[in-house]
Structure 1
Amino acid sequence: MVAEAEVMHQSPVPVLEVQYHRRATTKGVDDVVGMSAPAPAEVGVGVGVEVEVEVEVAVEVPRMGLEQPDVAPSLSTDMIQQFVPNIRSGSFADIGPRRYMEDEHIRIDDLSAHLGSMLVCPLPSAFYGVFDGHGGPDAAAYMKRHAMRFLFEESEFPQASQVDEVYLESVESCVRRAFLQADLALADDLDISRSSGTTALTALVFGRQLVVANTGDCRAVLCRKGVAMEMSRDHRANHVEERERVAASGGYIEDGYLNGVLSVTRALGDWDMKAPGASASAALIAEPEFRRATLGEDDEFLVMGCDGIWDVMTSQHAVSLVRRGLRQHDDPARCARELVMEAKRLETADNLTVVVVCFAPEMGSPFTPQQQQEEELPARPRSCKKGLSTEALCSLRSWLDTDHR
């Protein structure tokens, strides 16, 4: 019997949340390296010197925290081989300024336990999905209900206990078939409006391998030592390759919209645009694109969000905000909520859904008050008091002993 997937839908609309977690928690403390200025040097002088002089020197102290390096850090082979993800996640969803909630999402931190004997796969294993509906909530809600069936029950998902290239290629083929089968199923279901569609973003973790599949403009971003590494590409009309593909298929872009109607160039559903005889039956496709990553110790977490997040902030902004939150309270669900609240503060115009997946048992010690201040405020000069050299003090004493009256 298959356990229910944990599906969170936190918003003013009814919530469906079935808690199911089985975590293997490893206790440990990450080394935290602090930066501090050395103590002021105290310079002694000989007996008889009665004048003490202090000079304030302005020293520019760089801002500590989450600045993006010029070059993304690389992972050593030894580091990757030793690393085993310890997976935990949190999510939050909000209706935003819209009248209706059309987003759905799924998160399963232990896929092997969830599916039981149905799936033999490398461990640890996890599955996450974000579905951003349009033209009504029908298509996204359908994907939330049936994604597990399309992916793992009806697509001959590969069985293996170890990860290799053949296994990963088989996983991608299986996910691709699942997306396309789901697209066809939306056309056949008479309860689904033919004008309803949804984007689909999924992430699978098997051992140290992360496989992301995307159709539409939701986005997955990996935090690698504080640097935002995009794990998906937005399928919108402003992307050159998508525009060329649409034009080659006979479709067109008008005012940034596919056929003047849809803001995305790939989606599941929307069969009023895909039906035979439509002006651009092949312009809108359900074909997913894939990106992979081999996780190492520098890979801290993955952020998955709908376009309501990315419309108002960059990938790096989101990663920096989540990273700071994890270092403060180490709660991925709270980080997801904080990211949603930041998008609302920036006046997003859409529904909002965020999933945060951590790959380590803890992010480290919380910031000290001083580190927190440096994290939030711009760099500013800091005063450091240094004594004059013995030679300088002797010269000063000689000058003072001279009669200048």
Structure 2
Amino acid sequence: MVAGPEVMHQVVPMLEASFHRCPLKGGEEVVVARVAVSPPPPVASPEADAEVELEVPDLERKAPLETLQFVPNIRSGSFADMGPRRYMEDEHIRIDDLSGHLGSLLLCPAPNAFYGVFDGHGGSDAAAYMKRHAMRLFFEDSEFPEAVEEDELFFGSVENSIRKAFLNADLALADDSVISRSSGTTALTALIFGRQLLVANAGDCRAVLCRKGTAVEMSRDHRPTYDAERQRVTECGGYIEDGYLNGVLSVTRALGDWDMKMPQGSSSPLISEPEFQQTILTEDDEFLIIGCDGIWDVMTSQHAVSLVRKGLRRHDDPERCARELAMEAKRLQTFDNLTVIVICFASELSGCLPPSDQASSRRMRSCKSLSAEALSNLRRLLESDE
């Protein structure tokens, strides 16, 4: 909410003002003052009192922009499947109302949400640990910043806090004697505060934004085939063999895997440092897909976006869309576990459809709402008219 301008009241004997409300586009009003200017005595004026119109330019310019700002209406759905593997090593977190979940622990701009996908390898220990301790690691131990307004300072602090959470989680996995040192997990998190979307990634999970039907990748896959990662690995004394880091691991960033990392404080080819991408959401941004590499191994980002968009137009159910995306990956013969989260930013996608498609969608919903008996009666009525 934008506070209205402060009005100072002062007695001015020479001015008499009457105020009128002028409607603006978007439902806002600008106060226009008609001021009667009386000539100072004792000089007489041959003319009647003149009228001068005064407007408040800042209010006229800023108010409509503030009221028309896009505010995400967050809702989500998720689906996880073992796929062709013998064991499930993925975990995920889906929280559409973060402040409601954490209560007094968090003061931040609204709406707010938190999502994470953890793709384990070398067993499920590391991924399961991340899911179990994520709230503590990301929002309690990391000195998460507090604010009620979105600004650059707040989001700079958020990024530093999330980076610290990734690094501390990595160290926590090393210190936990129950977790095998050969167990590790990739990690991708997405935070929404107001209109700001912040994605942090370490590994080969992927976040893809749908912007007016076009796929916008919000993360980069940290694999040995990625040139920047290959160069970093080489500079740290590592090597790539048959597409694997040190001939063992298919990713170049992950939490855990302490049997492959150098002692704490040393430079290592395998790191837990996340990469960040951030954007301001607008009405063009329809939904975000977060998925493990079991999805992206067999389909492009655009394929996934088109499939989910089609599903939302048909039934407007993000949970069902997540399942359909995983089933498509299975149909395309993925060889990995499957985990997908679909996060929508509008109350329904039908508002993004052309008028002709909206009418068709309404007709389909109307037909589906008829009972079998009503359809039978309608059919008999139509046949009798013939």
Smaller-chain TM-score bracket: 0.7 to 0.9
1:210 maps to which of 194, 197, 214: 197
Runs of 4+ in 1 over 3 A off after TM superposition: 77-81, 365-371
Q: Return closer, same or farther for 1:79/1:303 CA change in 2, 3 Å cut-off.
A: farther
Residue 104 (structure 1) aligns with: 91
2:309 maps to which of 303, 323, 344: 323
The structure, 1 or 2, with the larger RCO (C-alpha pairs under 8 Å, 6+ apart) is 1
- The one-letter code sitting in structure 2 at the alignment partner of 1:138 is D
Shift of 1:370: 7.7
Residue 146 (structure 1) aligns with: 133
Residue 307 (structure 1) aligns with: 293
Tell me how far apart the structure 2 counterparts of residues 250 and 80 of structure 1 sit (CA, whole Å).
54
2:162 maps to which of 164, 175, 179: 175
Tell me how far apart the structure 1 counterparts of residues 179 and 217 of structure 2 sit (CA, whole Å).
32
Shift of 1:82: 1.5
Q: Quick one: percent identity of the two aligned structures? A: 74
Q: Return closer, same or farther for 1:275/1:245 CA change in 2, 3 Å cut-off.
A: closer
Residue 85 (structure 1) aligns with: 72
1:339 maps to which of 287, 303, 325: 325
Residue 155 in structure 1 maps to residue 119 in structure 2: no
CA contact (8 A) 1:303 1:355 kept: yes
Matches within 5 A, 1:112-261: 112-261=99-248
Residue 362 in structure 1 maps to residue 348 in structure 2: yes
CA RMSD across the alignment: 1.9
- The one-letter code sitting in structure 2 at the alignment partner of 1:217 is D
Q: Return closer, same or farther for 1:124/1:244 CA change in 2, 3 Å cut-off.
A: same
The secondary structure found in structure 1 opposite 2:259 is helix
Matches within 5 A, 1:61-80: none
CA contact (8 A) 1:273 1:281 kept: no
Residue 284 (structure 1) aligns with: 270
Matches within 5 A, 1:3-42: none
Shift of 1:79: 9.7
Tell me how far apart the structure 1 counterparts of residues 170 and 81 of structure 2 sit (CA, whole Å).
26
Residue 52 (structure 2) aligns with: none
Tell me how far apart the structure 1 counterparts of residues 233 and 195 of structure 2 sit (CA, whole Å).
36
Tell me how far apart the structure 1 counterparts of residues 66 and 186 of structure 2 sit (CA, whole Å).
35
- The one-letter code sitting in structure 2 at the alignment partner of 1:232 is S
- The one-letter code sitting in structure 1 at the alignment partner of 2:177 is L
Structure 2: unaligned runs, 5 residues or longer: 1-63, 362-386
Shift of 1:78: 5.2
- The one-letter code sitting in structure 2 at the alignment partner of 1:84 is V
The secondary structure found in structure 1 opposite 2:71 is coil
TM-score normalised to structure 1 length: 0.70
Shift of 1:368: 7.6
TM-score normalised to structure 2 length: 0.73
Tell me how far apart the structure 2 counterparts of residues 80 and 138 of structure 1 sit (CA, whole Å).
48
Q: Return closer, same or farther for 1:329/1:230 CA change in 2, 3 Å cut-off.
A: same
- Listed one character per residue, the Cα deviations across residues 135-194 of structure 1 (whole Å, up to 9, x for unaligned) are 000000000001110110111101000011111110000000000000000000011010
Shift of 1:276: 3.1
- Listed one character per residue, the Cα deviations across residues 83-116 of structure 1 (whole Å, up to 9, x for unaligned) are 0000000000000000000000000000011111
**Alignment length (residue pairs):** 293
Q: Return closer, same or farther for 1:80/1:319 CA change in 2, 3 Å cut-off.
A: farther
CA contact (8 A) 2:262 2:268 kept: no
